[in-house]
Structure 1
Amino acid sequence: MKYSVQKISKDVMKLYNQKLLLRILKDEGPISRSDLSKMTDLTLPAISEITKELESLNLIHNIGESRINRGRFPTMYQLKVDAFKVIGVTIRSNSIRVGLMNMTGEILYDKEQAQLNTQPEIIADAVSSLVDTILQEANTKKSEIRGIGLGMHGIVDAVNGISVYPPHLNWDNVPIRTLLEARIQLPVLVDNDCNTLALAEYWFGGGRNLNSFITLNVDYGIGAGIVVDGNLFHGRDFGAGQIGHVAISDNGPLCTCGKYGCLEALSSENAIIETIQKKVKQGYPSSIKEIEGNPEKITIHHILHAAAAGDELTLNTLNHAAHYLGIGISMLVNLFNPDKVIITGAVIGFKEYVLGTLKETFNRNALKTNVTHFELAASQLGDKADVLGAGSLWINELFKGNSSLTDLLHENKPVSL
């Protein structure tokens, strides 16, 4: 049997080195060519050639000489952060959020609107309108935008830009990338929202410098973004990370996927709200009735206030959800043995009430050999992590992906992933 040897072309090596320097400049800030050479083991002539190329692409710039005590003053380089602007979009079950950001993940402008009509064409029109609004209000030309990144819940074909199955929208194989590109006239990258959140953590949050980690998004649904060897793990049919639809309880409630006892049906934001609404209607004593008298109108914000006030029904419901979350996280850790699990989503607002029970249940169920060097933490990225993650689809391409820098910077040119 013969084995083929993969040869790395000169162009591939050149691209790798270009993006390596961009990553160093992102992480280290202003730096000299001499220091770049020491950090990469590339020769000074090679570093000089790459910095000239990056300057010609308008991605970095020379900021002058640095004053040192002795010897020649070195010329310093840094990223030209506004040379690569992208827009992140998240389509949720009842709202759309759009954010404009630069290559360092700084969100320059963002906007959110309610969206009750979930027909694909209506959603695409609304996204296009929001993009136009945000560009106008941010005084930014469309020609300055390198692309649109979209994060969606459910199963997403990231290669072909298809929303395969988002249960909260009731879509079926919707070509959302095509719909958006036709309206906005900018290239679009699409992925599952848990994967985009993992990218946000990888580039800007708790996943930096980690080889393998998992982002668990506990919001109106539950899902995981899995990073293995520094890359997203999508699975054979883009279904990896659907921990929300793993059955945790045989006698649990009905889930949106049609099964009973799924983690999402027990521990998601929607599950918590529905449990409290149901028990208030059944007459369980709770101070939440003083915050919102109509059980049908109880929201996650009312629940947060009730928890802060020490309401027993609310705290018991949160502990119940946290118990099953701990089991779910232990499953992920037992399967993947990651460096870290980062919890994101609405549950972050309740961390002081749920983390104790969650960690207790997790420690009881996780293999001890898998937690020796393991860390469980809440995300520090804040409530704009979703649009940051969506935009990070392009930021990942800039700093690490296979797309050439020329293609990425060429307006409206399709990008091959």
Structure 2
Amino acid sequence: MSTEPRTALTTVLQAIRETNPVSRATLTRLTGLSASVVSTSTKLLLERGLLQEHGTHQDSLGRPQVLLRINPGYALAVGMALSWSGLHAVLTDLEGNVLARDTVQLTSNQPEQIISSCASLLGSLRNQRRFRNKEVVGVGLALPGWIDNATGTCLKSTVHGWQGVQFGARLEDALDLPVFMENDANALAVGEKWFGLARGFDNYAVVTLVGGIGAGIYTGNQLYRGSRGATGEIGHVSIVPGGALCTCGKRGCLEALASIPALLQQSHRLGLGETLDELVHAAETGQREAQILFSEAGRYVGHALSMLTHLLDLQAVIVTAPVAYLNHYLRSALEHSYAENSVLFADTGLQLLYQEEDSDIWAMGAASLAIQSFFERGGVSAQAS
């Protein structure tokens, strides 16, 4: 396939993904392509089965217009999320709907064992009878750390003790599929763009408050990776100079003040509980010290989010955390601090949104990397290009 037709196909597919379903006339207006190019491109995509007709609607003159949409079942994608203790995988269609999932626990952070676990998970997902004859467009892998996604290298991951580990190519060889590696918060931001709360936004951040604190950032409708793949380290922004010691060796970092491990450390010291649920229970049963812990954490997070918003002029900030973390005491303080410290919040339509963390969302974000690459190639897998 020549470059020019593929460019047109990519443009058409991206427009359909963003406005799914859509008429040919609207595609012509959105893409700036000629009506004949749009007609030729959509005809080819319909013949391949990647597009399907999806009813009609009337234009401004009352004429019926056939609507087109992506055929979600045309192909599959696999997403894998690597954490400190396990590997969770999902098999999705092209609209990010999870069709199957599986998890393995890890006993070692050695790359070869993790590659073996990835291969085992891929086999268990693909070998289900209903998926055996379906094309898999690629495998996305999300993990904490600094990632050079172009070379598939983990530059640094304190969680896994990796530095300069060339992982992507080795995993591709083992799986015999294209592999797309990315920092976990970045992968989550891509997933939210296409299948979640960020649909319709061009400038937003997904802030994750799970083990550590990080952010995936979209600016100008593109994932922002920076010069070294180390963007979004909002957890290591100093909020209280000279404050609590952080695992990075500095003091007063947001992560040292408001992360779940930091809260649990203080909860243990105060005798309020050993788990997040126990700390929430203490707050809900009137223990003032527990309520203050959550309120202070929310205040610190809200302050950090206001700084992020001012720097990047965002349309939305999506806060992703376990449901227990996003309790009334923390959210109330977060929103008050965010509004108090942000000159943009009140009158610009800036949205503060919440996403409850679960085991699937990280792997779904990883799958979205493979899906996005597939559409950027004009609906052609990396193996066929």
The answer to whether residue 380 in structure 2 is matched with residue 406 in structure 1 is yes
Query: Contact 1:205–1:380 (CA<8 Å) still a contact in 2?
Result: no
Pick from 107, 116, 121: which aligns with 2:112? 121
Query: Contact 2:177–2:383 (CA<8 Å) still a contact in 1?
Result: no
The equivalent of 2:163 in structure 1 is: 172
Query: Contact 1:304–1:350 (CA<8 Å) still a contact in 2?
Result: no
Aligned to 1:376, the other structure's residue is in SS state strand
The percentage of counterpart residues that share the same residue type is 27
Query: Contact 1:348–1:378 (CA<8 Å) still a contact in 2?
Result: no
The within-5 A match list for 1:290-369 is 298-346=274-322, 349-366=325-342, 368-369=343-344
The answer to whether residue 230 in structure 2 is matched with residue 216 in structure 1 is no
For 2:218 and 2:62, the matched residues in 1 are separated by 44
1:371 Cα shift? 5.5
Query: Contact 2:178–2:382 (CA<8 Å) still a contact in 1?
Result: no
The number of residues matched between the two structures is 383
For 2:383 and 2:93, the matched residues in 1 are separated by 13
1:123 Cα shift? 2.0
Query: Contact 2:137–2:374 (CA<8 Å) still a contact in 1?
Result: no
1:214 Cα shift? 1.0
TM-score of the two chains, using structure 2 as the length reference = 0.88
Runs ≥4 in structure 1, deviation > 6 angstroms?
67-73
The equivalent of 1:200 in structure 2 is: 191
* Structure 1 residues 171-217: Cα deviation after superposition (integer angstroms, max 9, x where no partner): 11112212322322211001111111111121122222222111111
For 1:358 and 1:67, the matched residues in 2 are separated by 43
The equivalent of 1:18 in structure 2 is: 9
For 1:305 and 1:134, the matched residues in 2 are separated by 38
1:307 Cα shift? 4.0
For 1:189 and 1:273, the matched residues in 2 are separated by 34
For 1:133 and 1:308, the matched residues in 2 are separated by 42
Are the structure 2 counterparts of residues 126 and 254 from structure 1 closer, same or farther at C-alpha, using a change threshold of 3 Å? Answer: farther
Please, what is the CA RMSD of the aligned residues? 3.0
Aligned to 2:96, the other structure's residue is in SS state coil
Are the structure 2 counterparts of residues 139 and 118 from structure 1 closer, same or farther at C-alpha, using a change threshold of 3 Å? Answer: farther
Q: Which amino acid letter does the alignment assign opposite residue 212 of structure 2?
A: G
Q: Which amino acid letter does the alignment assign opposite residue 114 of structure 1?
A: Q
Are the structure 2 counterparts of residues 12 and 311 from structure 1 closer, same or farther at C-alpha, using a change threshold of 3 Å? Answer: farther
Any unmatched runs of 5+ in structure 2? none
1:378 Cα shift? 1.0
The equivalent of 2:245 in structure 1 is: 254
Query: Contact 1:218–1:347 (CA<8 Å) still a contact in 2?
Result: no
Are the structure 2 counterparts of residues 186 and 72 from structure 1 closer, same or farther at C-alpha, using a change threshold of 3 Å? Answer: same
The equivalent of 2:148 in structure 1 is: 157
The equivalent of 1:387 in structure 2 is: 363
Aligned to 1:405, the other structure's residue is in SS state coil
For 1:278 and 1:17, the matched residues in 2 are separated by 61
Q: Which amino acid letter does the alignment assign opposite residue 405 of structure 1?
A: G
1:406 Cα shift? 3.0
For 2:49 and 2:153, the matched residues in 1 are separated by 33
Pick from 39, 47, 54: which aligns with 2:45? 54
TM-score of the two chains, using structure 1 as the length reference = 0.82
For 2:267 and 2:357, the matched residues in 1 are separated by 28
The equivalent of 1:372 in structure 2 is: 347
Please say which of residues 24-33 and 115-124 is displaced more in the overlay. 24-33
1:273 Cα shift? 1.9
For 1:362 and 1:200, the matched residues in 2 are separated by 25
Counting strand residues as a fraction of each chain, which structure ranks higher? 2
The answer to whether residue 207 in structure 2 is matched with residue 232 in structure 1 is no
Mark the structure with the bigger radius of gyration: 1
For 1:364 and 1:355, the matched residues in 2 are separated by 14
Are the structure 2 counterparts of residues 13 and 340 from structure 1 closer, same or farther at C-alpha, using a change threshold of 3 Å? Answer: farther
Please say which of residues 271-280 and 92-101 is displaced more in the overlay. 271-280
* Structure 1 residues 363-390: Cα deviation after superposition (integer angstroms, max 9, x where no partner): 3333x15763122221278652211111
Q: Which amino acid letter does the alignment assign opposite residue 20 of structure 1?
A: T
For 1:80 and 1:369, the matched residues in 2 are separated by 39
Are the structure 2 counterparts of residues 156 and 105 from structure 1 closer, same or farther at C-alpha, using a change threshold of 3 Å? Answer: same
1:66 Cα shift? 5.2
